Amino acid sequence: MMSFAATTPTWLWIVDGVLLAILLWIFGNWFYYYVKGRIIKGGLKPQEFEKKVHNGQIIDLRSKGDFDTAHIMGARNIPYSYFKQYQESIRKDLPVLLYERTDQIPIRVAGKLKKNGYQEVYWLKGGFMKWEGNTKKKASL
């Protein structure tokens, strides 16, 4: 009697392995940021974030193009790729409110800021995609 493993083509095992690796990577990535978001306190729901907007520095970590298309009113654009260079321009005596398209980058930046002595650092849970408050949009032609 022949076993199933002996009759299954090798390429099918490779495809299964690749799919499993991709699923494990996706789950691992989600789990990492879920845990990190729990450890680094500061994630705010959109309603809570909106209450803090008037007293803090709002930092949009998206690209300039995304920022120019639409952003939270009063936000300043510091793309994540340039964040290290412009971090010193962020005041330590005021709350820092971070957002990006999703949660991952703001959680990473919040951790770096807290390590560097910033006391009040918050990020928008769900990112800009969940924001329903006031935005400034690019005027259409």
Cβ partners under 8 Å of residue 11, min gap 6? none
| Sign of the torsion angle spanned by Cα atoms 97, 91, 36, 16 | positive
Mean pLDDT of 104-130: 91
Tokens representing residue 65 in the block: 């193009």
Tell me the per-residue pLDDT of 56-102, one tens digit each, with 9 for 90 and over: 999 999 999 999 999 999 999 999 999 999 999 999 999 999 999 98
**β-strands 43-44, 96-99: how paired?**
unpaired
Tokens representing residue 125 in the block: 């849970």
Tokens representing residue 123 in the block: 């990020």
More confident call, 107 vs 38? 107
More confident call, 140 vs 22? 22
The position carrying tokens 């999703």 is: 102
Closest CA to 81 of 67, 94, 96: 67
- The pTM score is 0.71
Amino acid 91 reads R
Residues 111-140 as b or e (16 or more Cβ within 10 Å = b): bebbeeebebbbbbbbbbeebeeeeeeeee
Residue 3 has pLDDT above 60, yes or no: no
Separation CA 63–CA 80 (nearest Å): 8
